[in-house]
Amino acid sequence: TGDGWSEVAKLQMDDGQFDRLTGFFFISIVLVCGVVLTNVVVAVLLDEFVQSVASEKQADAAAAMFVANQALEHKGPLDKLLAPLTHYNTQDDLLLKIDGLFQLMDVDDNGWVTIQEMRDGLRNCAGIHLSDEDWGDISSVYMQGEQ
């Protein structure tokens, strides 16, 4: 802080006169301690602050990614059946996979899938039991998409 240097400097004076070497020493100490070391301390504190902010941003990004992954892992009644549809190479590949699923469900091959056909097909090929509530959820989403 520089307190007490004047007392030490007065003790070094001979008859009220400073030796040049003593004066240079005290000026050097004040400059080195007061200016250089203060800048070093500020630089270290600033570096710690920047690292802290970076790690906080990384933690926030990881938390946001976790929340996003949780949202993607929605457990709907058909997720187990539709999961393979998310892995396709081309649009034609996706259409072939969708058509294959439809053919599994359309047992009587009339181009329509009834509720009973869908329930039987889901139970037989994917082990999924589709309740009336699940069917209502699926068909209401479809009907909202049509509007």
Other C-beta atoms closer than 10 Å to the C-beta of 134 total 16
Q: Are 30 and 2 in contact (CB under 8 A)?
A: yes
pLDDT tens digit sequence for 41-79: 999 999 999 999 999 999 999 988 887 766 556 566 777
pLDDT at 130: 73
pLDDT at 33: 80
Q: Is the whole-model pTM more than 0.75?
A: no
d(CA 75, CA 81): 11
pLDDT at 1: 57
d(CA 23, CA 11): 12
DSSP structural state of residue 111: S
Report the chain's mean pLDDT, rounded to a whole number.
Answer: 79
Question: At residue 88, what are phi and psi to the nearest 5 degrees?
Answer: -135, 160
